[in-house]
Amino acid sequence: MGMFDQYPSRTTWGMAASGAGLAAFDQALRRHMLRVYNFMTLGLVLTGLVAALVAGTPALYVTIFGSPLKWVVMLAPLAFVFVLSWRFERLSAGALQMLYWAFCGVMGLSMASIFMVFTGVSVARVFFITAAMFAGTSLYGYTTKADLSKMGSFLMMGLIGIVIAGLVNILIGSSMVQFVVSVVGVIVFSGLTAYDTQRIKEEFSELHAHEAATKLAVMGALSLYLNFINLFQMLLQLMGQRDD
């Protein structure tokens, strides 16, 4: 997401391309983007496996969500995001990867309740719809010649609005507010997917050392992972079938 924009870029797109040769640079960029998508995909797989395991094990589910421990599980992912975004420059590539995998696992714990609220069929259907939307918007962000950085501030304003409205709706419990938040959320996180994909692409440089390149790939994967998870949750609120 946009919160990771502060990661230092060693060179501009044009300088890197002219220095290494366009063909060689494009090949290196594709390898980098593939690495980002691999990190993101494996993170989603880990999250899904943990969520399914907890939801399918009554003893685990009751222990977590039938006690105050549920608040720890629900708030822990936010703590991980803060640590990853604020401390990544001081962390080694190995430590950053371990934190990323731990974050994805904890997200699985927090999302286990989805399998108890919505039917398995609707969860699967919305997941594939989310994957299709994500792939389309990310491909657009990768291929477009338009400068999407101009969208960044508006998308972040929309994100802040979603967070505030979501917190207020916890208190008032309005289905209409939830519907509006979900619709706006789909638009915002689709836009952020395209925006972040272009940002990750433009931050790449062949001049990065292996350590810096790995950290850049992990942080890029985290951005896209968060967009995917949030888009999935918003679509699930709109299209998911609840398990009565």
pLDDT at 4 over 70: no
pLDDT-derived band of residue 82, with 50, 70 and 90 as boundaries? confident
Query: How much of the chain, in percent, has pLDDT values that exceed 90?
Result: 40
Residue 123 belongs to a domain: yes
Give residue 6's domain range.
2-239
Residues contacting residue 115 through CB under 8 Å, at least 6 positions apart? 51, 52, 55, 56, 123
> What is the per-residue pLDDT for 244?
66
Assess contact for 225 and 40: CB atoms under 8 A. yes
Per DSSP, the three-state class of 159 is: helix
CA distance 179 to 184: 9
pLDDT at 138 over 80: yes
> What is the per-residue pLDDT for 134?
96
Nearest to 87 by CA among 229, 225, 218, 230: 218
The contacts found for 98-106 with CB under 8 angstroms, 24 or more apart, are 100/39, 100/43, 100/218, 100/221, 100/222, 101/43, 101/46, 103/43, 103/77, 103/222, 104/43, 104/44, 104/46, 104/47, 104/50, 104/225, 105/46, 105/47, 105/50, 106/73, 106/76, 106/77, 106/80
> What is the per-residue pLDDT for 21?
65
Least confident of 21-30, 40-49, 148-157: 21-30
- Beta-bridge partner residues of 118: 242
Mean of pLDDT over the chain: 85
- Is the pLDDT higher at 36 or at 90? 36
For residue 179, give the amino acid letter: F
> What is the per-residue pLDDT for 116?
82
pLDDT at 3 over 50: no
Number of domains present in the structure of the chain: 1
Residue 178 belongs to a domain: yes
pLDDT at 1 over 50: no
For residue 173, give the amino acid letter: G
pLDDT-derived band of residue 210, with 50, 70 and 90 as boundaries? confident
Nearest to 1 by CA among 231, 242, 241: 231
pLDDT at 219 over 50: yes
> What is the per-residue pLDDT for 241?
84
pLDDT at 18 over 60: no
Residue 54 belongs to a domain: yes
pLDDT at 121 over 50: yes
Residue 244 belongs to a domain: no
Residue 40 belongs to a domain: yes
pLDDT-derived band of residue 128, with 50, 70 and 90 as boundaries? very high
Query: How much of the chain, in percent, has pLDDT values that exceed 70?
Result: 89
Residue 9 belongs to a domain: yes
pLDDT per residue over 140-164, tens digit each? Answer: 999 999 989 888 888 888 888 888 8
